[in-house]
Copies of this chain bind each other. A is one copy, B any other.
């Protein structure tokens, strides 16, 4: 069964679990403000202008939860509450990210704060944060107590790692002397930890123990880092039409992404130009210079190395053949993605 065949089965189930989790009885009773729910449903890509799969995103994280559960030996349906929880947690962080980064567009549509204003957008993110914890509770009925308790402990710890990574990402913007050494703890918190948690929770639901569980954890950790490094490539050289935002975003916003840190360390022409200031006028030339100084190739190599290490760890976990192959295919596909 290929990844695509799995996805045909998984994605509708993920969407149904998400829809149920984002509108629990408490948010749909007579006294509850309908517009708050509308904001959440808009952000999740279910309604409003431009609603649809493109607005929802690829649901990479819940897919990882379900495939990991299947790879470790469980019916993937048992992991659905966790799949919903991690995707809702991810979307809480996106709503807040967009405010923090002053981003008016996501996936080709206005962001929540651009539509409803900053105060309501902060609150909409907080609402998803609470809903993520509620969604996970379903796991207490679909899996062992041990797996549920470990997953329930992992969720707030992963949230804490998200906020630690986000702290660093924001702080680095105004710190002049950030190096590649500072980069890895930042992306580990910002992106790696949640992707690692997806694989770990899936493997726990699947009943993985000991060396196998550890191998799944390494798979998740390497995959999470590879995902962010590839994201750094897309943030500078991604196709703006495909991504639904403007080109060279990360250069214009001053983000200390891996290609930038690599080139700053070279102290060459890019470093001088970047320090003098990135503008709409010089950004194309700076992106070309960055590539000429080898930053794109270096970053690409890092992403490929991490993806390969992830796949090696996955094999060491001795997964069930079909979901294991689909997980490896997903890892490779993420390393080639254009959005």
Nearest CB of chain B from residue A336's CB, rounded to whole Å: 31
- Among the listed stretches A32-40, A243-251, A266-274, which one makes contact with chain B, having 4 or more residues with CB under 8 Å of it? A32-40
Q: Are A170 and B130 in touch, CB under 8 angstroms?
A: no
A26 to B158, CA, bound (A): 10
Let me know if A1 is at the binding interface, CB within 8 A: no
Q: Are A26 and B160 in touch, CB under 8 angstroms?
A: yes
Q: Are A35 and B130 in touch, CB under 8 angstroms?
A: no
Report how many copies the assembly holds: 2
Let me know if A133 is at the binding interface, CB within 8 A: yes
**8 A Cβ contacts from A146-176 to B:** 152-153, 155-157, 159-164, 166-168, 170-171
Let me know if A31 is at the binding interface, CB within 8 A: yes
User: Given the complex, which residues of B lie within 8 Å of A216, measured CB to CB?
Assistant: none
Known: A120-B170, A122-B122. 13 other contacts (CB 8 A): A26-B157, A26-B160, A33-B171, A100-B122, A123-B163, A123-B166, A124-B163, A126-B159, A129-B129, A130-B159, A130-B162, A133-B155, A152-B152
**With A32-B164, A134-B157 as given contacts, are A100 and B119 in contact (CB-CB < 8 Å)?**
yes
Q: Are A163 and B100 in touch, CB under 8 angstroms?
A: no
Nearest CB of chain B from residue A89's CB, rounded to whole Å: 10
**With A27-B164, A164-B32 as given contacts, are A122 and B96 in contact (CB-CB < 8 Å)?**
yes
Let me know if A99 is at the binding interface, CB within 8 A: yes
Q: Is the interface of A mostly helix, strand, loop or mixed?
A: helix
**With A33-B171, A167-B33, A167-B36 as given contacts, are A137 and B153 in contact (CB-CB < 8 Å)?**
yes
Q: Are B31 and A167 in touch, CB under 8 angstroms?
A: no
A163 to B155, CA, bound (A): 20
User: Given the complex, which residues of B lie within 8 Å of A101, measured CB to CB?
Assistant: 119
18 A-B residue pairs with Cβ-Cβ distance under 8 Å, sorted by A, are: A26-B160, A27-B160, A33-B168, A36-B164, A100-B119, A100-B122, A120-B167, A120-B171, A123-B163, A123-B166, A123-B170, A126-B129, A126-B163, A129-B129, A130-B157, A130-B159, A130-B162, A131-B160
